Amino acid sequence: MLRNRRRLGAWLLAAVVLVVVLVLYDADRTGVGDPKAAPSATPSATLPGTAAPAPTTAAPSPSATPSPPAPPGTGEPSSSASACTSPGACGYPDANSTGPRIALERHDTGNMSVKKDGTVIKGWDIRGSLDIYANDVTIIDSRITSTNWWGVNLRPGFSGLKVLHTTITAVPGKGPDNGGVNYAVSNMGGSSIEVGWCDISVFGNALSMGQGNLHDNYVHDLVAFRNQGGEWQHIDAVISGGGNKGRLTIRHNTLLNSTPVDKGATAAVGLFADTGVVSSVVVEDNWLAGGAYALYGGGPGATGIQVTGNVFSTQYHPASGAYGPVTAWNAGGAGNVWKDNRMSDGRPVEPAS
């Protein structure tokens, strides 16, 4: 009797061991026993400025509506590119990162001429405009509200102007050109100037110069007007007429031109051979939107034009500009470089051949 009980116990123990082995084998085969093998119930975090992973969907039926073709000058989205929703969200200048950083004191200057070398204007809330007949003038942490042709104008023969952390705007309908105003900052001098971290609005051709260092500016809400000849004034966030002797650098700005084409909109960046051949221009890492074309590239004969790493925004037009992202690009010009430019939805941008 005792021998039979021992034999029965041995069989029961063997059966338990067999069941455990079978369960562990099945768990290892299916992956259920490994937490890493099961799909995560929590989506992974998305870094700012990157697109969330696309959800898995069923293949479309043969009767599904095809996607519209890409606008001219653009291709399919790059696998490494990500969508950008707005300038500020994607690290470009906006109202929060430009303009004065200190409290301001009001100055009703009218059209004020600055004639002393080394003048520094800081903390002024100017009702008027500044005409610079001096070298090494600095305007910083200020606001200019103009009803003149310009906000700041550097006269020929002078150099070293800096306009930094300043808001430059105008009163629509109160300017001298049939109520319009033309230039927020104009460089009539023969040397480079610096304009940085400025909030600029209203002026028809906001930043007008053949040479300069334009960086970290927010240009927006340009206002259309008819010039004294009765024609719609051409509207550009940045404009250069060519014939420049020095370098024009346009880097890390937000340049918006929401003006309708039938009211003069030309470009976000307009490089035109109006007064000579366009040369030695860097357009790098900017947010560009609006105009007939967002960028005019200098045209035939343009050389040394480097356009790299820019975002062509679709916020006003599907193709960034009304007719496309870029025109007048001289692909064969010496030193001309087009690289890593894309639409704000991630599509690469290439100039028409």
What are 114-171's pLDDT values in tens digits?
999 999 999 999 999 999 999 999 999 999 999 999 999 999 999 999 999 999 999 9
Average pLDDT of span 259-277: 96
User: Using CA atoms, how far apart are residues 270 and 293, in angstroms rounded to an integer?
Assistant: 9
User: Using CA atoms, how far apart are residues 181 and 159, in angstroms rounded to an integer?
Assistant: 24
What does the pLDDT read at residue 352?
86
What are 31-51's pLDDT values in tens digits?
333 332 333 332 333 333 333
User: Using CA atoms, how far apart are residues 268 and 237, in angstroms rounded to an integer?
Assistant: 5
Weakest mean pLDDT among 81-90, 231-240, 268-277: 81-90
- Does 340 score more than 70 pLDDT? yes
- HSE-CB at 236 with a 13 A cutoff on CA atoms is 22
Instruction: State the Rg of the chain over Cα.
Output: 30
- CB under 8 Å to 207, separation ≥6 — which residues? 183, 184, 185, 195, 200, 214, 217, 219, 237, 238, 239
User: Using CA atoms, how far apart are residues 227 and 128, in angstroms rounded to an integer?
Assistant: 21
Average pLDDT of span 77-81: 48
What does the pLDDT read at residue 83?
81
